[in-house]
Structure 1
Amino acid sequence: MWEISKEFDFCYGHRVWSQSLDVEFSLDSCLMCRHLHGHQGKIIIYLKSDSLKSGMVTDFKHLNWFKKFLDDILDHKFIIDINDPLFETLIPNIDKKDLIAFKEGYKIVDTKPFKAELLELYESYIVVNFVPTSENLSAWFLKIAQEKMKKIDIKVSKIEFLETPKSKSTFYA
């Protein structure tokens, strides 16, 4: 069995509106992750295979699509749960049923009706149907990677997602 990995970085913002703490372990009750904040995230995709093709699990260039997804869709965007109680405050005047859905499991605001001065507000959101914790994001990235890589018969064994250099979640296939 062989396993290879490739790392990707992107900047993003989020809010963990569901955060709660046990002060016995956290030592205080400050719910900082409930605030709007951002990170320099790192994703490590692990690919595995029982056999090699041309001496490789696959060419690392076969993950260029994932970098493009991060750069074009997620980089410098705010990932928000459609169920966040502040959704209507943060993204005003939007009917949730009018969001544009994508096969990768996210939605965006249709910006056509808005004047240029409002585009920066509305085009900065990526809407998902989960609280954007590092655990949920790693599961989402795994699903996206698995769906794409199965087209060339490559298995994604896990995703590691580092929200900060010292905080990591891992989701296994």
Structure 2
Amino acid sequence: MHWKISKEFDFCYGHRVWSQELNPEFSLDPCLKCRHLHGHQGKIIIYLQSDVLTNGMVTDFKHLNWFKAFIDDVLDHKFILDIHDPLFETLLPHYANKKDLIEFPEGFKAFNLTKIKDEPEHILEMYEGFIIVDFVPTSENLSAWIMKIVQEKIEKLNITVSKVEFYETPKSKSSVYA
């Protein structure tokens, strides 16, 4: 026997899928809308699994409070940008050389704002609104990234992340399975 539980997390984010290609036979038109800068009301559902119950539970739902804090502090109202995006230098000219980035253990980077501390406040606010990843931020790649982050933390409780669902919109989602 094994048990599964799940918990949902909502957040707003922006991204750009610069690698988007369409086959007009299936898409009915060649419009590459996901190449534009755009945003979503995203939702992540984390599925945890165990073959053993501890205190009658897979784990307490509160054991995912750290992930809620991660979503709120790192992803919510941020623009997720691939460091390899051809528009990187255009969008973020102060860091066109891609140096002076702070690396985080969860696999993303942010700007070291001390480099531009003398810039106007609106410039600082713009740069703090980006998180930089090393992949095209599609829902598929984001769900795999989230799964890795959660699994690395939650394995200390001897449970497994069996699936992550990433809703880009209420009608469009990707799922990744362990």
TM-score of Structure 1 vs Structure 2, range by shorter chain: over 0.9
Take 2:105 and 2:70, find their aligned partners in 1: how far apart are those partners?
12
TM-score, reference length from structure 2:
0.95
Take 1:46 and 1:117, find their aligned partners in 2: how far apart are those partners?
39
Q: Which residue of 2 aligns with 1:172?
A: 177
Q: Which residue of 2 aligns with 1:74?
A: 75
Q: Which residue of 2 aligns with 1:40?
A: 41
CA RMSD of aligned residues (A): 0.8
Take 2:166 and 2:94, find their aligned partners in 1: how far apart are those partners?
33
1:30 aligns with 2:31: yes
Q: CA deviation at 1:73?
A: 0.7
Q: CA deviation at 1:121?
A: 1.3
Aligned residues, how many? 173
Equivalent position amino acid for 1:171 in 2:
V
Q: CA deviation at 1:147?
A: 0.5
Equivalent residue runs for 1:1-173 within 5 Å: 1-94=2-95, 95-114=97-116, 115=119, 116-173=121-178
Q: Deviations over 1:97-128 (max 9, x none)?
A: 32100000000011112233311111010000
Take 2:162 and 2:82, find their aligned partners in 1: how far apart are those partners?
26
| More moved, 37-46 vs 115-124 | 115-124
- Identity rate, percent: 71
Give the conservation status (yes or no) of the 8 Å contact 2:47–2:162.
Answer: yes
Q: Specify every segment of 5 or more residues in structure 1 that has no aligned partner in the other structure, as ranges.
A: none
TM-score, reference length from structure 1:
0.98
Take 1:89 and 1:148, find their aligned partners in 2: how far apart are those partners?
36
Equivalent position amino acid for 1:92 in 2:
P
Q: Deviations over 1:40-73 (max 9, x none)?
A: 0000000000010000000000000000000001
Could you say what secondary structure the match of 2:14 adopts?
Answer: strand
Q: Which runs of 4+ in 1 moved over 3 A?
A: none
Equivalent position amino acid for 2:125 in 1:
E
Give the conservation status (yes or no) of the 8 Å contact 2:100–2:115.
Answer: no
Could you say what secondary structure the match of 1:18 adopts?
Answer: coil
Take 2:39 and 2:17, find their aligned partners in 1: how far apart are those partners?
11
Take 1:154 and 1:123, find their aligned partners in 2: how far apart are those partners?
34
Equivalent position amino acid for 1:113 in 2:
K
Q: CA deviation at 1:75?
A: 0.4
Could you say what secondary structure the match of 2:54 adopts?
Answer: coil
Take 1:117 and 1:55, find their aligned partners in 2: how far apart are those partners?
51
